[in-house]
């Protein structure tokens, strides 16, 4: 019976063989596009940073403005540290 150490050495991640190598390379080279955010749209975090207010205060006030109909909310895809995710962006209606 193989010891734990021997088993770990055997269970190393495998590399794709044959045409799977082509697939692996092709999939790694694909970059998912993010959305271009139109001028005037900001996330809650961006507003908090620019206005020097806490995120919780900005969030509460922006969502109240959205409820009142003075703010437009749209989702745009953003690049995060690990993946692309949809993020709410807000713009004051004129």
**Confidence class for position 2, pLDDT limits 50, 70, 90:** low
The pLDDT value given to residue 29: 75
Q: If you average pLDDT over residues 5-23, what whole number do you get?
A: 62
- Correct CATH for 35-94 of 3.20.20.10, 3.30.70.1900, 1.10.10.10, 3.40.50.2300: 1.10.10.10
Query: Tens of pLDDT along 26-57?
Result: 777 777 778 889 999 999 999 999 999 999 99
> Given the structure tokens 């999939």, which residue do they identify?
27
Token pair of 44 as six digits: 């809650």
CA dist list (Å): 74 to 24, 51, 89: 34, 20, 5
The pLDDT value given to residue 15: 61
């Amino acid at each position: 019976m193989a010891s734990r150490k021997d088993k770990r050495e055997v269970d190393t991640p495998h590399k794709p063989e044959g045409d799977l190598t082509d697939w692996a390379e092709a999939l790694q080279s694909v970059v998912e596009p993010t959305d271009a955010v139109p001028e005037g749209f900001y996330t809650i975090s961006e507003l908090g940073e620019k206005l020097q207010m806490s995120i919780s205060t900005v969030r509460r006030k922006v969502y109240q403005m959205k409820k009142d109909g003075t703010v437009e909310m749209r989702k745009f895809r953003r690049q995060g540290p690990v993946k692309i995710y949809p993020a709410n962006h807000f713009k004051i209606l004129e």
